[in-house]
Amino acid sequence: MDSPVQRRVMTEPAALRTICLDAVRAAGLTAVGELFHRFHAAPGAPAGEPVGITGVVLLAESHLAVHTWPEIASVTVDVYVCNLGVDNSAARRR
C-alpha cells in the first residue's frame, strides 16, 4: 500500500464509513442503519500490524457489506438492492 489515504480507509472505521455512506447517497439509496467493526490483531502478530474492518450499511433497499484486508491490500464490497418496484440500473452504474 503506497497511499496513506488508502491505508487510512482500510484501517480506520470512521474513514471507511464516510466513503460507504457517501457512495450510498450518490447512488440514490437510503441508509437506515450501519455498523463498522475493526478487528484485533491476531495473537502473535507483529506490533503495528494493520488490521481490517468489516462494515455493513443497512439500506431500505437491502444492504452494502465491505471487508478490508490491509495486510494484503484487498477490499471486497457487496451491494444488494431488492427494491423490485423501482428500476435500480442507474444506481448500479454510479
Q: What is the DSSP letter of 72?
A: G
Of 20, 63, 67, 89, the active-site residue reads 67
67 forms bridges with which residues in the sheet? Answer: 54, 76
- Examine the residue annotation and report whether 89 is marked as an active-site residue of this protein: no
Of 3, 37, 74, 82, the active-site residue reads 82
Helix axes 4-11, 13-26, angle to 10 degrees: 90
Whether the Cβ atoms of residue 51 and residue 41 lie closer than 8 Å to each other: yes
Of 40, 62, 74, 89, the active-site residue reads 62
- Examine the residue annotation and report whether 82 is marked as an active-site residue of this protein: yes
- Examine the residue annotation and report whether 20 is marked as an active-site residue of this protein: no
Q: How far apart are CA 89 and CA 45, in angstroms?
A: 43
- Which residues belong to the active site? 62, 67, 82
